Structure 1
Amino acid sequence: MKILLLEDELMLNTAICEYLRNIGHMVENFLDGKDALDNISNGYDLLILDVNVPTIDGFELLNELNHKKIHIPTIFISAQIDIEDITKAYELGCREYIKKPFHLGELGIKINQILKKEQNNTSHIRFSENYSYSKDKQTLYFNGEPQNLTKKQLEIIHILALNINMIVDFERFRVDVWDAENIDNPTIRAEISRLKKALKEDFIKNIRGLGYKIDRYYSV
């Protein structure tokens, strides 16, 4: 998962970054609200926002994203514990509000809960500006038009969609796409390479030595 962290306390910012990277997430961290907003087009899966930060506070940042119709799951972390602030955070659309001080493990639990909901609740996923996928219909669309792919290619897309934002390793492909056949990694790579060549946009990422993934696309 690719995460934007906005936290102006340098030591806490560093600690959160280290923790999130250690549990497998990509993190881009900011100390200033304007810098965070200026980089929002980098394609984040989750925002972790402090409320009281320089230039643009966390509430203002999320409100600005709402006006632009950019909807990214958000966790607020704040020392502000007034019910008015907590109410405002949820009215703006945040998923969680964590009060400082907190254990980093609590943050990890909240992130995992959000990730599971994102994976389970969304049947139609956007992969890029023009590509989307229906998990229910197991159909890939380009600008709303169904695409003709082979059965194996659609199975590859489907397993990546079920694990959106997460790496699918070769063993998972072997079991779920090739029914645990004795298929070697080069054969899997070759099939995915043919699939990528059949697509007009390259949204399938090769994570060297680990597998492949598709990140959810958010328009800006």
Structure 2
Amino acid sequence: MKILLLEDNVNLAEIIKEMLEEKGHTVDWFDDGETALFESAHGYDCFVLDIHVPTMDGIALLKEIRQREKRTPAIIISANIELETIQKAYIAGCHDYLKKPFYMYELERKIDLLCSANERLKLQDGLSYDPKDELLYDASNEVMKLTLKERRLMALLAKTPNIIVSIEHIEQYVWEGEDVGIAGLRSLVKRLRTKLCEKSIETQNYGYRLVVVSSHYK
């Protein structure tokens, strides 16, 4: 799982980062809000945000993120225990609010519960997709082989099913910002469509969306 951590306390950030990486997660740590905002579009599975950080506070950052996508779980960590601040955090779109100081186990459990999805997405033609393990299943429940870039594209589109993902975000996530060109992107989408079905990935405006029949498929 890829996690964005916003925390300006270096010692705390290093402890959190080490703990999560020992669990097998990838953690990108930022100590100021504006940098975190710029990087937040790069396909994260979970946001862990402090409030009082330089350039842009965590709640303001979360508001900006929610204008782009609504689903990715977000956990606010803060020493601020004022009810008004906690309310603002939930209104902005956080899923949980963890008050400092806290045990690392508390944060670990919240991330496991909120960010590790256990449900498959039901696709057309009997296919299904497991966002947690990034596995695509055919109608017989057999795992289908995907190349690395096909897998990354599928994982990104599945983060916001039935919602358009821009070409820019796809390039940043799949090719990590490398200039691939529209022909390369279209070729990748075409290959993935052949493993799903033609109508499973729709082209709309300047992006693509994964057409999901249901997000509650076990």
1:139 paired residue number:
124
> Is 2:139 aligned against 1:192?
no
Cα RMSD, aligned residues only: 2.9
Give the Å deviation of 1:167. 5.8
2:190 paired residue number:
none
d(CA) in 2 for partners of 1:167 and 1:3?
A: 16
Look up the SS of the partner of 1:94 in the other structure. coil
Q: Quote the sequence identity (%).
A: 37
Contact 1:79 1:100 in 2 (8 A): yes
CA deviations on 1:132-151 (whole Å, 9 max, x unpaired) are xxx1xx427xxxxxxxxxx8
Q: How many residues align?
A: 157
Give the Å deviation of 1:103. 0.7
> Is 2:68 aligned against 1:69?
yes
d(CA) in 2 for partners of 1:217 and 1:87?
A: 26
Give the Å deviation of 1:94. 0.5
Give the Å deviation of 1:203. 2.9
d(CA) in 1 for partners of 2:28 and 2:8?
A: 13
1:108 paired residue number:
108
Q: Which amino acid aligns with 1:192?
A: K
Give the Å deviation of 1:65. 2.0
Give the Å deviation of 1:92. 1.0
- For structure 1, which runs of at least 5 residues remain unmatched after alignment? 124-134, 141-150, 179-190, 206-212
CA deviations on 1:83-125 (whole Å, 9 max, x unpaired) are 1111111111110100000011111110111135x433x74xx
How is 1:44-193 mapped onto 2 (pairs within 5 angstroms)?
44-66=44-66, 68-71=67-70, 72-116=72-116, 118-120=117-119, 123=121, 135=122, 138-139=123-124, 154=127, 158=128, 161-162=129-130, 164-166=131-133, 177=142, 192=145
- For structure 2, which runs of at least 5 residues remain unmatched after alignment? 170-218
Look up the SS of the partner of 2:37 in the other structure. helix
Computing the radius of gyration from Cα coordinates, the structure with the larger value is 1
Query: TM-score, length-normalised on structure 2?
Result: 0.63
2:182 paired residue number:
none
Q: Which amino acid aligns with 2:150?
A: F
Contact 1:76 1:97 in 2 (8 A): yes
Contact 2:3 2:48 in 1 (8 A): yes
Contact 1:2 1:45 in 2 (8 A): yes
Look up the SS of the partner of 1:36 in the other structure. helix
d(CA) in 2 for partners of 1:73 and 1:115?
A: 6
4+ residue runs over 4 A deviation? none
Look up the SS of the partner of 2:68 in the other structure. coil
Q: Which amino acid aligns with 1:69?
A: R
1:128 paired residue number:
none
Q: Which amino acid aligns with 2:39?
A: N
Contact 2:134 2:151 in 1 (8 A): no
Q: Which amino acid aligns with 1:16?
A: I
2:193 paired residue number:
none
Query: TM-score, length-normalised on structure 1?
Result: 0.62
d(CA) in 2 for partners of 1:53 and 1:166?
A: 33
